Amino acid sequence: MSEAQPKTVPATEQVDLEAEFKTSNIQEVLDKLDRELIGLVPVKTRIREIAALLLVDRLRKQFALTSETPTLHMCFTGNPGTGKTTVAMRMGEILKRLGYVREGHLVTVTRDDLVGQYIGHTAPKTKEVIKKAMGGVLFIDEAYYLYKPENERDYGQESIEILLQVMENNRDDLVVILAGYKDKMDRFFQSNPGMRSRIAHHIDFPDYKPEELLAIAKLMLAGQNYRFSAEGEKAFAEYLTLRMKMEHFANARSVRNALDRARLRQANRLFGRRGRPLNKDDLMTLEAEDVLASRVFREGRLDQDPA
């Protein structure tokens, strides 16, 4: 922790948790989290708990009640598009506000960035990544690829060992977040029990419900200065129920792609009736026909080029 050790207060004195809470601006971060992330109740609960722990820890320090720095290494499991990366990005900011990390930046890596191609290549590569992530959050996407049981000479193991060492010794310097699909991560932890025990927080990201996906869609559109018309919204809700039953449904990511395609169609529609004057509303609104033109409705197939 970067700030100097606060002066200790005598044991009889009282400290104000409320005041500490207010000065830390945590409420602001939590509110922002609530506003911008739809659903994800288990995730938000855990973040609240972590925030409370760090806050109480700070108060305990004022009484010179030292305890070990809590480990905040995390593992995010969940299906594609459930917001693992988004939350990881927020995590950096939250932990910085709480004074747990110094910089709060996020370094996103996959197996390629950590594991080398020949003997002696892996250790420097992994160490370089770790050095870049210090003071912030190291986010290892699809972490289960680090361990390849079918090849006992795979360099991934070396990388895991260096990570384990750093996660233990440099707890103050960086927070490691592993992410991946649930079943594969479980298998990964089974073969690396050391990794499992060094990660205190295993957070499972649930799939979104249809109404949550619609709320996400509206939030995404608002961020880009678009909006649905009333019919457009109804059509999109219908689209979601159909799309969710289909294969390769990737939660919020599919929603984003669907919206991108709807914007394309909207532009095309406006272009088609050129000559007539357009107002701001026309340019902002996605109508039902922009959504209904999707192949999901017409043929029950995904919107894809035939190739």
Partner 1 sequence: MMTNPGNRLTQGQFSFLPDLTDAQIITQIKYALNKGWAVSVEYTDDPHPRNTYWEMFGNPMFDLKDPAGILMEINNCRKTFPNHYIRVTAFDSTRGWETPRMSYLVNRPMKEPGFGLVRQESEGRMIRYTVHSYATDKAEMERY
123, 93 in Cβ contact below 8 A?
no
Stretch that binds partner 1, among 73-81, 166-174, 220-228, 249-257 (CB under 8 A): 166-174
Supply the minimum distance, in Å, between the C-beta of residue 269 and partner 1.
44
176 binds partner 1 (CB under 8 A): no
Stretch in the footprint of partner 1 (CB under 8 A) among 29-37, 76-84, 124-132, 297-305: 124-132
CB of 24 to partner 1, least distance (A): 21
* CA torsion through residues 83, 89, 94, 99, sign: positive
Binding residues for partner 1, how many (CB under 8 A)? 15
Could you tell me the two tokens for 135? 């003071």
Complex with partner 1: residue 92 or 232, whichever CB lies closer: 92
* Binders in 42-81 for partner 1, by CB under 8 A: none
Q: Are 158 and 122 spatial neighbours (Cβ–Cβ below 8 Å)?
A: yes
Smallest distance, partner 1 to C-beta of residue 131, A: 3
The answer to the question of residue 124 lying near partner 1 (CB under 8 A) is yes
Residues numbered 81 to 110 that lie near partner 1 (CB under 8 A) are: 102-103, 105
Position among 113, 173, 238, 289 found at the interface with partner 1 (CB under 8 A): 173
Give the shortest CB-128-to-partner 1 separation in angstroms. Answer: 8
In whole angstroms, what is the distance from residue 146 CA to residue 242 CA?
36
What x/- string results for residues 125 through 154 when contact with partner 1 is judged by CB under 8 A?
A: ---x-xxx-xxx------------------
Q: Measured from the CB of residue 130, what is the shortest distance to partner 1 in angstroms?
A: 7
Minimum CB distance to partner 1, residue 138 (Å): 11
Residues that bind partner 1 (CB under 8 A): 102-103, 105, 124, 128, 130-132, 134-136, 170, 172-174
